[in-house]
Amino acid sequence: MPKPAAERHDPLRETADALCRGSEECCHQHERLAHILSVACSDEELAGVAAVSDMCDAILVKQIAAYEQAASGGRGKAPEAWWHAANTLWHTAREYHRRHEQCNQTSTRLARHSAAKLGELTMEFELEASAVLGLRHAVGGYTKACS
């Protein structure tokens, strides 16, 4: 995992590290939500897990914007491998957010869906799950580049 901030002060690196941690937590909460949906649970538990997941997604959006701002000046003295891993994480986080939003919009639009529309909804959920997997891999790549 990235080094503690006390050991260095590099705003770009610190912002990328925060993006990594936020991405990792989004993956965790998405996986937690998927698990809760697969078992019998109360509506209160489901609502709580969904609320935490939504909060993590909102924080990730802010971290994406913060990284964009910090990285706009270029990589500076950052090692090439780290720079590529950080940008891959950023691109993947943006794709995850885009897929997540698209899935939310589709499920809201198709709330009263017919059997014919079920395929479209299923595809959106599968694309979102794929984006979560991609984000998980980008977090791993970034973490490896920091070692």
45-96 residue pLDDT tens: 999 999 999 999 999 999 999 999 999 988 778 899 999 999 999 999 999 9
54-58: list long-range contacts, CB under 8 Å, 24+ apart.
56/22, 56/25, 56/26, 56/29, 57/26, 57/97, 57/100
Q: Name the residue with higher pLDDT: 69 or 147.
A: 69
1-55 residue pLDDT tens: 555 555 567 899 999 999 999 999 999 998 998 899 889 889 999 999 999 999 9
Domain ranges, ordered by start, for the chain: 5-146
Let me know if domain 5-146 sits in CATH 2.70.98. Answer: no
Residue 113 pLDDT more than 80? no
Q: What is the pLDDT of residue 108?
A: 63
Q: What is the pLDDT of residue 51?
A: 94
Phi, psi of 73 (to 5 degrees): -85, 0
Nearest-CA neighbor of 49 among 61, 59, 60, 35? Answer: 35
Predicted TM-score (pTM) of the model is 0.83
